Amino acid sequence: MPEYPRLQGKKALVTGSDTGIGYEIGREFLRQGADVVFHYVSDDSSVKRVIHEAQSQGRKATAFRADFNCLDEAIALATQSIEFLGGVNCLVNNAGVTFNRPFSKVTPEQFDAMFHINFRAQYFITQRVVEDLLRRGERGAVCNLSSIHALQGVPEHSVYAATKGAILSYTRSLAVELAHAGIRVNAIAPGWVTVENYYKAIPGFTEKGAAEIAHESIPLARCGRPADIANLAVFLCSDDSDYIVGQTIVADGGTTALMSLVSDFRQESTNRFGAGYIPGV
């Protein structure tokens, strides 16, 4: 990564930035010169230290609470951030929740909560930020966090995958609608990135166990790290990516590039397709 601050002068709102990927994105944005608003749902203790450090260096940083199941709170977050920073020209829509349940057992309440938190809030926060950018005549960048669940199927994740697929589709459409105004919209689709939620949701989950599974199943032979996604978000919100519009960049260590029918991708295959009609087979 270049040594110069790639986001100098940028004013960023990073949603879902109290833990995991969002937290690392917020920290990296600060390191790269941006003023940052963090967002949390129930506890801001994890971001207090990094905010204090930024403020002690003369930077603008704070954290606001918002429950994305309530649209008014989501829109208020955007408004508060605009007022605090004097405008938002970098928006990272990271906030989201994961949910697995057999298709036949999903309730309307569960369905609505997933779409409210993962998609509806993101959509209208973006609308509020874009309205302000257009009013000011400013350029800006929007980075939406999707998932490889939008690209590949996993049992019991139909609602989650649907929200992430919606993000991909609206990213493309919004990007071509706003590009002429100097507002670039792109997305990131992370693969397996080890974050705190794994320890809460998976019985007996350990970092060592995850590393062993990743070594066997992911072509890069490791899980993703929050920093992998944070660095990519910096790039997409910086002027270095000025000609990238409407794209979803997959960061998954090769997971989606690997055909699932391949049994052992590290060994030369003993199969000999092409024998008889391809020379040398």
Instruction: List the catalytic residues.
Output: 146-147, 160, 164
Cα 72 to Cα 186: distance, rounded to the nearest angstrom = 25
**β-strands 61-65, 35-40: how paired?**
parallel
Cα 40 to Cα 63: distance, rounded to the nearest angstrom = 7
Largest pairwise CA distance in the chain: 72
Contact 145, 92 (CB under 8 A): yes
46's tokens: 């994890």
Cα 186 to Cα 142: distance, rounded to the nearest angstrom = 6
For helices 121-136 and 71-85, what crossing angle results, to 10°?
A: 30
Q: Which of 14, 169, 3, 153 is nearest to 81 (CA)?
A: 14
Cα 10 to Cα 281: distance, rounded to the nearest angstrom = 56
Separation in Å, CA 256 to CA 20, 147, 162, 165, 190? 22, 11, 17, 15, 10
Task: Give me the count of residues in the chain.
Answer: 281
Which residues, 6 or more positions from 216, have their beta carbon under 8 angstroms from its beta carbon?
Answer: none
